[in-house]
Structure 1
Amino acid sequence: MRVGGQRLIFDGGTGLRVLGQELLRQMPIEAHMFFTHSHWDHIQGFPFFVPAFIKGNRFHIYGAKAPNNVTIEQRLIDQMLHPNFPVPLRAMGADLQFHDIEVGETVQIEDVQVESALLNHPGEAVGYRVNWRNYAVAYVTDTEHFPNLLDENVIKLARHANVLIYDATYTDEEYYAEKASKVGWGHSTWQEAVRVAQAAQAEQLVIFHHDPLHNDEFLDRVGYLVAKHFPNSLVAREGLEIRLAPSRAAVHPQPELLTLETP
């Protein structure tokens, strides 16, 4: 996200490598990186984030301690140790400043506020809400809903948000399937995404964290069904860019970037 003159990056999956290639055209770079948790799909792009290896760049890195009290700094260090990776984190030439946050804490970056709340995920995860002036964007990934009960933490993050980005990995049919139930796997459904967006009175819903088994045709069908229940909705795709402006929310394809921008 680019908001209030700040650059915010959320999580570090494989897309972080692609973002890094784009940022090489804009150096020197200063950005604030917020990690929700350290499951592999959320950190595996970090060792391939080229701007972090270049002196003169600066990255403020935020994350809550894991249940075993291990910091986000230590977890990123660990994944770059032998035999997982040939180059240690200390080889990164950028100025890396690590910040341990308490879940529920609000981080203030000049006039941008980043709220946090605990999500329902194995090993714990943190959701974020970005506030700037009259704008708000909620990033709610890796959370499992409670049957017949709205998660108060999720609603708090999503309340009246201009954009709600929500974990809709499964359909209700997949989640509750008798033979291969996904209950307890730590993810939610598009149907629950609609319920949350409606309850929180969010303006726009973006569903993401797609199951890798869902092909484009499947996701097109899901997008159609979501739009029937919540018309102002999108299915996240690589290269999607959303611009928020006082009188409109326009969507623009942008190669190699997944960016939420505000003027």
Structure 2
Amino acid sequence: MAIRIKVWGCRGSIACPSPMHMKYGGNTTCLEVDAGDQKFILDCGTGIRNLGQQLMHSNSGHCDILLTHTHWDHINGFPFFAPAFDPSRQFDIHAGHLMGEGGIQNIMETQMQNPLFPVPLEAMQSKITFHDFPAGKNLDIGKSKNTKVKTALLHHPNDATGYRIEHGGKSMCLITDTEHIPGNMDQNILTLIEGADLVLYDSTYTEKEFPSKIGWGHSTWEEGVRLCRKAGVKRLGIFHHDPDHDDKFMDNIAEEAAKEWSGTFVIQENMDFLVE
């Protein structure tokens, strides 16, 4: 059984809608993942607005939203997510980095409070339930025994959570945002991605750029290749593109990465594909 993935946003840090970013996209992180009859949304960056417009034309009544973390580029599209205002719909929002920090509901309410935003969270008429969990816990949210969600703690300022969705013998992982320590592979990540069919990995910087960005909480496509090879992953999707990396820059990365490992490709906004 295949897992379907639609990419609604793959940019990091800040949206960059410009003619120089048309090919790979300017919207920040948002993935739509269908595992059988269960729909997941991974992150609520600006890409979730376009996803919401499409969902308004569907009968998808329930969805699990999995948040890697709550830095702006991963949640600032949520106030513009039209289905959340539809009373016929239901959303379960999960976060693994905020236990003891006030919880995910508090953060989502805060970003929609005056003077930050004029429309409060309570104006959303859908049924929204918030769930906090410790990163590293397996989530018991699969609609069937064929669907599992596993998590891992990632190395990022204020922490972040990596996700693995398994369905019918296939698996995909989202590993963002995370900063690697050169020469020391992250065991949390290796365990989570072991044998996965696809890993989307935080590739914000190149190896050349990385030394001047230490402490910023991001990684490189080169480290993604090393991790995926070590863990026996089938394919690596280069993800969370730096806004300074325009289409020409990303084309060069795509060419270089494919030469390094044939299982590597660069994620583009509006990609719609199956993991099978």
Partner residue in 2 for 1:147: 182
Structure 2 unaligned segments of length 5 or more: list them.
1-32
Partner residue in 1 for 2:217: 186
Offset at residue 203 of structure 1 (A): 0.6
| Deviation per residue, 1:74-113 (Å, 9 max, x gap) | 1000000001111100010101011111211111212211
SS at match of 1:121: coil
Q: Does 1:244 align with 2:275?
A: yes
Contact 2:48/2:78 (8 A) holds in 1 = yes
Offset at residue 156 of structure 1 (A): 1.2
Partner residue in 2 for 1:37: 69
Partner residue in 2 for 1:256: none
Q: CA RMSD in A?
A: 1.1
CA distance in 1, matches of 2:68, 2:167: 20
Q: Does 1:88 align with 2:110?
A: no
| Deviation per residue, 1:111-168 (Å, 9 max, x gap) | 2111111000011001011112211111100100111011001111111110000000
CA distance in 1, matches of 2:191, 2:260: 22
**1:1-263 matched pairs, under 5 angstroms:** 1-66=33-98, 69-108=101-140, 109-110=142-143, 111=145, 112-176=147-211, 181-245=212-276
SS at match of 1:32: strand
Number of residues of Structure 1 aligned to a counterpart in Structure 2: 241
SS at match of 2:237: strand
Contact 1:23/1:29 (8 A) holds in 2 = no
Q: TM-score, normalised by structure 2?
A: 0.85
Structure 1 unaligned segments of length 5 or more: list them.
246-263
CA distance in 1, matches of 2:252, 2:210: 17
Offset at residue 201 of structure 1 (A): 1.0
Offset at residue 238 of structure 1 (A): 0.8
Contact 2:99/2:133 (8 A) holds in 1 = no
SS at match of 2:59: coil
SS at match of 2:272: strand
Contact 2:172/2:197 (8 A) holds in 1 = yes
SS at match of 2:208: helix
CA distance in 1, matches of 2:256, 2:225: 10
Question: In structure 1, what residue type is equivalent to 2:39?
Answer: R
Contact 2:99/2:134 (8 A) holds in 1 = no
CA distance in 1, matches of 2:194, 2:200: 12
| Deviation per residue, 1:34-91 (Å, 9 max, x gap) | 0111100000000000000011001111112427522111100000000111110001
SS at match of 1:173: coil
Q: Which has the higher contact order (CA 8 A, sep 6+)?
A: 2
Contact 2:173/2:200 (8 A) holds in 1 = yes
Question: In structure 2, what residue type is equivalent to 1:13?
Answer: G
CA distance in 1, matches of 2:165, 2:96: 17
CA distance in 2, matches of 1:119, 1:184: 13
Identity of aligned residues (%): 41
